[in-house]
Structure 1
């Protein structure tokens, strides 16, 4: 059989013309482009997590409005669009305005406006950024005879790092509100206005009177506008799945299952198809292996700080039931961390009840779960790398059905790991053990259940299903009895694997495991 030709994957490339001209893989989203630009509203806002394709979508819109028909040959929009009218486009990428003070932000906006003033001219009487933007829109309209398109990518970038700073947020917010203010007044000159961002700031605080923006972030019709669905993978990326399977040494279906486990699981509306993280998916295809691409591309320092600020323990991150207003909500005055977790991509919609109108939010997939838990380890030990090494060594023993050896290893390592301060309470150890067993999900399927006062682990390997109960300063026998009381073995009898019960007691004085019992009667 003839070997498959290598493919080019646009990892980190957000320029539509480059992707098309240089023959990178492009997952066709142009039907959405046509739908957006022919809708009743000409002001639209889309929120998605970082590296989810917002910038590529914005650039695709620019090429479309510039009438660059040749770039869209063979794509869905080619059959939908008949006119290909060229409009003047003002495209502002605000991602370059991060980590700036008021003067720096004003300087960045000045440079962006100057670039278009070289094309459409300027008026010396226009000194403020809002006056200059309004002048640009009006001159572009007069000079071309066409309505103007305004695209603002990552509108919230200048504000993200200061959203909870009482001193700096108002200053930067006023600068941006002033800059955006002409968008309402210039309505008669505008063909289309599109804004993207990660967070949803309240309209009054940023856009002043621009209260007619249609927020399509949770619109079912646009649920898959960013990211990649399984249907798109099977119809547009079939060759890519075969190439990956070849590199992984598996069949195509197994390769897709591994991709699904690691990178799938996002829903931005309900109902919605499963959406894969595009950055991680393309990274895996490009490298031919599964790694932490999205989580590893940006250390969530701010997120970890917020988890600590709101005193969110690891077990409580996922499994949240709430109304849409609790998470699809402005973030600059949060009283709860849920909006930040959702809008940043660390939680996603997993279910919805029409009766109660409540959404279930949970961690999307394995990549995010493992990444979060690794980041949180530093809260529990001074040298978290030691525990990450422990996890790898334990996983190897468990893979070969040596649970006793794995627990002996944990006992030895934990007794030598220096702990952080404030460890004299039970919750600290429960949370640390939760993190360790969750990290074993790198190597096996871990489902951790944590009712108040205990940590339960259901861990599936290739050959065994382990049901683990953890106790603090009690006894391993009591932990084992707890498993029987909850009738866990019966609950998992249909899994098709031998079930092993493990009771563990943790000694909070010695900071390590005191004893454990392994019951193999169900093997």
Structure 2
């Protein structure tokens, strides 16, 4: 009889005890223990089994449980007799920063404090131990919701000391989603305060803690050493591009095939592969998104499960406010092409919007991109050829771009209809609404000039065209044709349909008396540089090619 699927259940014991669907990842216990690494940082995309694996580790090692035999006897790790002796032998601290999402430093700090206070509540019985001194008791009592930074940052280390003395064994620490507070701090503008607090906490917990046996931290990103790990030289990092634990997070193709077979769904393998495959962990290709595969096994319906769980606000912000090169790269990615990108080993969040490599590094770490080829592997920055991971991720990008143009006063779909009907009057009305409502969306700060603002806007605008018209048109921008580079070209998939060439120009008050003259210059440029050449060479009739000039002056637009 096939197992029931418990969606969202990340409690290892509950899954095993109730015989829910589970893909055996217990060999990770052996691999990690044999590595000998003191502090291991493992970064994987969201919903990739990190929390469940840490729950598994806690239930295997923690001496507060005595159910190792019952939970693990039918799993791979129990085949190794020497590991049976390790079960339930260590004091374990398990905490998660998943819920630390305060929109101010004070709130986020307090959420971390609550996690620490919660740990102490679990071990109040230690206070009755004979080794507890009055000073120990005083420090313990100071660990409270209103404790200061000095107490808070040393609280986990002190708890390790007490546990080590009580159980006469050093402590294992498992910390899940360590980077959530840092990402939220970047988005909400309190980066410096949060990194300072977390840096001191991590230094005391993982560096100067002689009562620590070993530790695992999991997250999505590898945050730069300078930001929070500056004092940790005992850190072993396992990332999506440089992985030791290649098979332990996410489903392998073999595991997916077996699961589909168990649920009598073998015939859907090719569709599942298209939707949920594409991840590459280290040298291991064909890693599947476990959350989406599990949802599919449960519902029998292909859908965007993973995309709907992840918070895309940071990705949305970075792409929307990025420069021309990033938007042009996204255009290529949406067409199924690969692009070259520099990838940083570490992500410096407070500088991530200052360089393209930071954006692409985050997209890769978060699972939105996959490595197609390694072009240069020397140095801190690696050069890769990257593409969108799979069909589910493509849908995520499509939805994100559509939302850029949503709003009560913006008629983007009406503009598309007017464009295809060559209704210039309607186009002008709606284009001015769109520009008025969305220029600020693509403005990346005080340094953006009036001349650069339209350029950023129109590349975002092109992405909107691509999403809305992808079924009928191939949309490209800034491509060579004839004697120059056109701004936007809409090439019909059916050659009998009309084609469009669009040129954007910013009004030059010194050379052009008004926007109408700017429009004329744009149209003349299309003719003079023969931008129709590429379309004609691919079989589009000259009479079915329409030209439009878009003239910008501030947030005013004129189309002709």
Same fold per superposition (TM over 0.5): yes
Query: 2:298 corresponds to which residue?
Result: 286
Counterparts of 1:40 and 1:279, CA distance in 2: 30
Whether 1:211 aligns to 2:233 is yes
Partner of 2:277: 264
Alpha-carbon distance in 2 for matches of 1:238, 1:384: 50
Say if 2:22 is the partner of 1:8. Answer: no
Structure 2 portions without partners, runs of 5+: 128-135, 143-150, 440-453, 480-485, 503-522, 552-556
Q: CA deviation at 1:408?
A: 9.9
Aligned partners of 1:329, 1:266: CA distance in 2, in Å?
20
Shift of residue 58, structure 1, vs aligned partner: 1.3
| 1:466 to 1:272, Cα distance in 2 relative to 1, 3 A | farther
Q: TM-score, normalised by structure 2?
A: 0.71
Q: Structure 2 matches for 1:343-492, cutoff 5 A?
A: 343-353=365-375, 358-380=383-405, 382=407, 411=421, 418-419=430-431, 420-421=434-435, 427=459, 430-438=462-470, 440=471, 452=479, 453=486, 454-455=488-489, 470-472=500-502, 482-483=534-535, 485=537
Tell me what 1:138 maps to. Answer: 161
1:193 aligns with 2:215: yes
SS of 1:26's equivalent in the other structure is coil
1:103 pairs with 2:106: yes
CA contact (8 A) 1:304 1:375 kept: yes
Flag the 1:413–1:503 CA change in 2: closer, same or farther, 3 A: closer
Where does residue 333 of structure 1 map in the other structure? 351
**Residue number among 116, 132, 136 corresponding to 2:119 in the alignment:** 116
Count of residues in Structure 1 that have an aligned counterpart in Structure 2: 460
Partners of 2:413 and 2:43 lie apart in 1 by: 34
Shift of 1:309: 2.2
- Separation of aligned partners in 2, 1:235 and 1:256: 10
CA shift, 1:465, in A, is: 11
Structure whose CA Rg is larger: 2
- Matches of 1:258 and 1:502, distance apart in 2: 41
Aligned to 1:300: 312
SS of 2:185's partner is: coil
1: distance between equivalents of 2:347 and 2:489?
A: 32
Is the partner of 1:370 in helix, strand or coil?
A: helix
Structure 2 distance, partners of 1:237, 1:200, is 33
TM-align CA RMSD: 4.0
SS at match of 1:172: helix
Mapped to 2, the partners of 1:260 and 1:502 lie a distance apart of 43
Alpha-carbon contact 2:49-2:250 (below 8 Å) kept? yes
TM-score (structure 1 length as normaliser)? 0.75
Secondary structure of 1:111 counterpart: helix
Aligned-partner Cα distance in 2 for 1:49–1:372: 16
Query: Residue by residue, what CA displacement relative to the aligned partner does 1:147-203 show, whole Å, maximum 9, x if unpaired?
Result: 21001111111121222666x212122222222222345554222200011222222
| 1:11-59 superposed Cα distances (whole Å, 9 cap, x missing partner) | 2221111111122211122112320122031210011222222111211
Paired residues of 2:183 and 2:349 also in contact (CA < 8 A): no
Q: How far apart are the structure 1 equivalents of 2:107 and 2:370?
A: 34
CA contact (8 A) 2:341 2:385 kept: yes
Q: Which residue of 2 aligns with 1:84?
A: 86
Matched, 1:153 2:176: yes
Residue in structure 2 matched with residue 64 of structure 1 by the alignment: 60
Say which SS state the counterpart of residue 304 (structure 1) adopts. helix
Where 1:358 maps in the other structure, the secondary structure is strand
- The aligned counterpart of 2:509 is none
Give yes or no for contact 1:198–1:343 (8 Å, CA) kept in 2: yes
**What secondary structure is seen at the aligned counterpart in 1 of 2:137?**
coil
Return the offset for 1:131.
2.7
Structure 1 residue 207: Cα displacement? 3.2
